[in-house]
Structure 1
Amino acid sequence: MRVVDLSQPIHTGMQVYPGDPDVTLTTVATVTEDGYQVASLHAGSHTGTHLDAPLHSIPGGGSVDDIDLARLVGPARIVRCTGLAPNEVVTWPSVADQLGNLDGLTMVMFRTGWSEYFGEDRYLEHPVLAPEVAHRLLAAGIDVVGVDTLNPDPTLDNEGRLPFHAAFLDAGGVIIENLTNLVEVTWDRPVVSVLPLALAGADGAPVRAVALDADGRL
């Protein structure tokens, strides 16, 4: 079975959404001195490759532990929309030809290629998804969407408005951000797992996202 890791490694000083808690991963006990090794992790709920629950932007929305895990494992469609300019908007007409016949799919992932800039200032100038994309996917029965960017909405100069988040999360959808390695998923209908840490009552959580070529075995 082929497995592709779609997750950004979590490490001290890694890039986060502007204003989010800094990430520190520190060894606090070692085998030499203590007989075992333990690390201390300080990070925000939206660190690295992570899941946005409705609570993230919808008052009273569902939290991470409210999400049915069956929604987060299943066949996916990866939409190719590379060669985009910084901050370019991905419209529905520009991707509609790749989003026909979504029957039987659990989620849709958008591959812009922007993950190659993770850790650089340019990563903040990523392409974004038009709100119509959210509405169209929801109408087609897709309520889990992923992006290989920091945000499906603008990260810089957004004036506090996140229209894709508002549309998708208000409908009970789930957003996965900071995916990577989507280019390595070269087969159709990968089985994708984006299971989050079980953070009770949380608005988001890191996930270990993977794509599987299950060959009918799942």
Structure 2
Amino acid sequence: MIIDLTHTISPETFVYPGTPRPAFSSTRTLTHDGARETLLQIGSHTGTHMDAPRHILPDGCGLDQLPPSQFCGRAAVIDVSHFAPGSCITAEFLRSQNGYLRCAEYALLYTGWEKKWGTEAFLSEEFPVLDEEAARYLVSCGLKGVGTDAISVDSLSSEVYPAHHVLLGGGLVIVENLCLKKLLGRTDVMFFALPIKYAGADGAPVRAIAEFRDFPEKEMSEE
């Protein structure tokens, strides 16, 4: 079974504060040209998207420099929706989920913000974020990446982006604005998030999907 984890981009799509909204315009039509073609004007971090190390780090690599294997892997889906809005997801909590993380290549954090997509609350309220120690713990797990259903792994009020610096500096990618609710409770998730490949990509929209698989190794557990 294939599950789509991607928000559809439209001119009304919410964007990070300060980022221009998407704009679509027709460049060819069936009536005049015999075919349809659309000019898409979107920021590199619009909708469901992936952050590259280049996004934050002066010498960080772009997504176009990473191998395709970086963009897929077995996922641990971690429910953090019980954390209060604006609170920090701690390393202590993540260590308690070690049974899930030990077999994973991606940690996908369900904050519950997915339910607010398309409402003012998606950006007007603060979502749970990783603290710096939690981000360092995820790096120590040897993951390929971290995903969230919120717009960022750092607070919207942050000016230094500590979780971004730690995760991207540790060689991980970050996937934001995911749809994760359908994956809650699953331990058989293979995650794919394929970014647009353009030169010097600091980030890019992705089509993120999950596939449920029968993995040969021992099932993940909380023990």
Fold in common (TM above 0.5): yes
Secondary structure, in 3 states, of the residue corresponding to 2:12? coil
Partner Cα distance (1:216, 1:162) in 2 = 35
State whether structure 2 residue 53 is matched by structure 1 residue 54: yes
After TM superposition, the structure 1 = structure 2 runs for residues 36-185 of structure 1, keeping only pairs within 5 Å, are: 36-100=35-99, 102-124=101-123, 125-155=126-156, 157-158=157-158, 160-180=159-179, 182-185=180-183
Q: Percent identity?
A: 36
Q: How many residues align structurally?
A: 213
Partner Cα distance (1:42, 1:8) in 2 = 17
Dislocated runs of 4+, deviation >3 Å: 101-104, 214-217
Query: What is the CA distance between 1:104 and its match in structure 2?
Result: 4.0
Query: What amino acid sits opposite 2:143 in the alignment?
Result: I
CA RMSD in angstroms comes to: 1.7
Residue number in structure 1 paired with 2:203:
204
Asked whether the 8 Å contact 1:110–1:146 carries over to 2, the reply is yes
Partner Cα distance (1:69, 1:27) in 2 = 32
Asked whether the 8 Å contact 1:72–1:106 carries over to 2, the reply is no
Residue number in structure 1 paired with 2:11:
12
Question: Structure 2: 5+ residue runs without aligned partners?
Answer: 217-223
Secondary structure, in 3 states, of the residue corresponding to 2:204? strand
Post-superposition CA distance 1:79-99 (Å, at most 9, x none): 011133321211122333223
Post-superposition CA distance 1:181-205 (Å, at most 9, x none): x121253130100111101112000
Question: Structure 1: 5+ residue runs without aligned partners?
Answer: none
Return the TM-score normalized by structure 1. Answer: 0.91
Post-superposition CA distance 1:33-79 (Å, at most 9, x none): 32101111001000101110001000010111111211211211000
Query: What amino acid sits opposite 1:90 in the alignment?
Result: I
Query: What is the CA distance between 1:21 and its match in structure 2?
Result: 2.1
Query: What amino acid sits opposite 1:145 in the alignment?
Result: V
